[in-house]
Structure 1
Amino acid sequence: MPDNQPRTISPNDLPEVITRYLTAHRAHDTAIAVTTFADDATVIDDGRTYRGSTAIEGWLDRAATEFTYTIQLTDAQETDAAHYIATHHLEGDFPGGTVDLHYRFTLRGDLIEHLVIEP
């Protein structure tokens, strides 16, 4: 990860691929969401790592049905042209009921290469 400090940006200034992923994820549209990832991408969520399109698609399907929740984008940051953080506030029927999650994106070209989701 770069040493630069992230700077706050408008959520409208997030790269198109991130916006497309977040919109599809919010709509539980796995078919669109999976197309935003590179074939060899990795996702780390809830302490588990998912590598490659098939594993990421399975993770997306599970994430879309495991809990019912609302999600609101509350902050966006850019470290450099390949590294972004989108912070979301979630409320729902998952353990704890509310959480702020940081979606840390690494881009490769026009695709997501790496995504880490953590509090």
Structure 2
Amino acid sequence: MNDNQPQADVLPDVVTEYLTAHRERDAATAITAFTHDATVTDDGKTYTGAAAIESWLNRSAGEYTYTTVLTGADSIDTSHYTATHRLEGDFPGGVVDLRYQFTLRDGRIQRLVIEP
């Protein structure tokens, strides 16, 4: 993600902090962005609670090598945001555009759905 891109301005700090930590493969920092009872859905699987999400973060950080570029960001309302990223790397297919759909509660991420 390039923090100088104007689209990033619509995302709340907790989302940009998570995206930065995730991009840097810093699971310990990324997990702090979530509520204790948060859910993450990625690749058709749902992870619930801090321990399951932290395990997912650690696994996804080491599975493939890739770069991430923010290509768009939208605010649906004060609790719902979407950040679109282009990933390029050594995973099957090599390039994918993913939508990170965030639901916030009390200033933290309550739900994250990642899908093409």
TM-score normalised to the size of structure 2?
0.94
Equivalent in the alignment of 2:113? 116
TM superposition shift of 1:12: 2.0
Runs of 4+ in 1 over 3 A off after TM superposition: none
CA distance in 2, matches of 1:34, 1:101: 20
Equivalent in the alignment of 2:49? 52
CA distance in 2, matches of 1:109, 1:53: 16
TM superposition shift of 1:93: 0.5
Equivalent in the alignment of 2:24? 27
Please tell me whether the aligned partners of residues 10 and 75 of structure 2 are also in contact (alpha carbons under 8 angstroms). Answer: no
CA distance in 1, matches of 2:101, 2:115: 8
- The CA deviation string for residues 55-86 of structure 1, in whole angstroms up to 9 with x for no partner, is 00000000100000000001000110000000
Q: What's the secondary structure of 2:56's corresponding residue? A: helix
TM superposition shift of 1:109: 1.5
Q: Does 1:14 align with 2:11?
A: yes
TM superposition shift of 1:113: 0.1
Structure-to-structure mapping, 1:1-119, within 5 angstroms: 10-119=7-116
How many residues get paired? Answer: 111
Q: What's the secondary structure of 2:93's corresponding residue? A: coil
CA distance in 1, matches of 2:10, 2:48: 28
CA distance in 1, matches of 2:7, 2:101: 16
TM-score normalised to the size of structure 1?
0.91
Q: Percent of counterpart pairs with the same letter?
A: 60
Q: What's the secondary structure of 2:91's corresponding residue? A: coil
CA distance in 1, matches of 2:30, 2:42: 15
Please tell me whether the aligned partners of residues 10 and 74 of structure 2 are also in contact (alpha carbons under 8 angstroms). Answer: no
Provide the aligned C-alpha RMSD in A.
0.9
Gaps of 5+ in 2: 1-5
Gaps of 5+ in 1: 1-8
